[in-house]
Amino acid sequence: MSIQCTKVKPNGQQCKMRTLKGPFCWIHAQQYGVRVKPSGIHNLGLFATKTYRVNEAIDEYKGDILEIPIDDVPANKDYVFTITDNYHVDGENPNSSFARYINDSRGTNLRPNTKWAVDRRNKVVRVRAKRHINGTKANPVELLIKYGRQYWTAARNRAKEANDEEDED
C-alpha cells in the first residue's frame, strides 16, 4: 500500500508523490542521504547515499508508541524497540521511519557501521554512524546494526511458538 510522501515543502504544501518504503518519496529520501533498496542480507535494506562522519545522526527510529509492561508486548512484533520496561517504539509500519530498514550484520562477515543511541529520558531512539560511512548516490553503502540479544531471543521464541502451532495441526 502506498502513502503520500510526508515531506512538507517550503510553501507549506505536502509533497504529492507516493511512497511504498519509508515516510518520504524517493526524491525526498535522497535529501536525507539514504535509500531503501533490495539487500543481499535480508529482503530490503537501508543504504547511505552520502558520507556520514563517526557518531553523526542518520535517522530516528519512529513508530507507534506502546506504553505497556515489557511482558505484555505481543510476541509477534518484529519491529519493537524497548526504550524502558514500560515504553516501546513499534516500527512495524513500513512508512514509520527509514531506520526500520537497517539490517543486522549477524550471520555475515560484515561489521555493523551504525549503532543505537537511546535517550531514555526523552524516550527517543536514534541511529548514528559507528564509523565513517562513505556512501554516494552512485555507490550506496548498506547500513548495518546489531539488533541485540533481546531481539534475537524474542525471534527464537517466535519461531519456536510458530513451530509448536504447526505441530498441533
Contact present, 36 and 45 (Cβ < 8 Å): yes
DSSP 80-91: EEEEETTEEEE-
Number of residues assigned to the chain: 169
Sign of CA dihedral 45, 50, 51, 55: negative
SS3 14: strand
Confidence label for 49 from pLDDT (cuts 50, 70 and 90): very high
pLDDT score of 73: 80
Does 7 have pLDDT greater than 90?
A: no
Mean pLDDT of the chain: 83
Select the more confidently predicted residue: 26 or 71. Answer: 71
- Give me the domains of the chain, ranges plus CATH numbers: 3-168 (2.170.270.10)
Cβ atoms of residues 145 and 102 within 8 Å: yes
| pLDDT tens figures, 87-108 | 888 888 767 788 989 999 888 8
Question: Which residues are CB-neighbours of 111 under 8 A, at least 6 positions away?
Answer: 105, 144
Give the gyration radius of the chain's Cα atoms: 17
Mean pLDDT over 13-29 rounds to 76
Least confident of 61-70, 114-123, 145-154: 145-154
pLDDT at position 54 is 97
> At 139, which helix (H) or strand (E)?
none
Residue 76: CB atoms within 10 Å: 11
Give 8's DSSP letter: B
pTM: 0.78
Ramachandran angles phi, psi of 129, nearest 5°: -70, 130
Going by the DSSP 8-state scheme, the letter that residue 101 receives in this structure is G
Bridge partners, 52 (sequence order): 133
pLDDT in tens, 121-162: 888 899 999 999 999 999 999 999 988 776 656 666 666 665
In this prediction, residue 138 carries a pLDDT of 93
**3-class DSSP state for residue 9?**
coil
The mean pLDDT of 59-66, rounded to a whole number, is 88
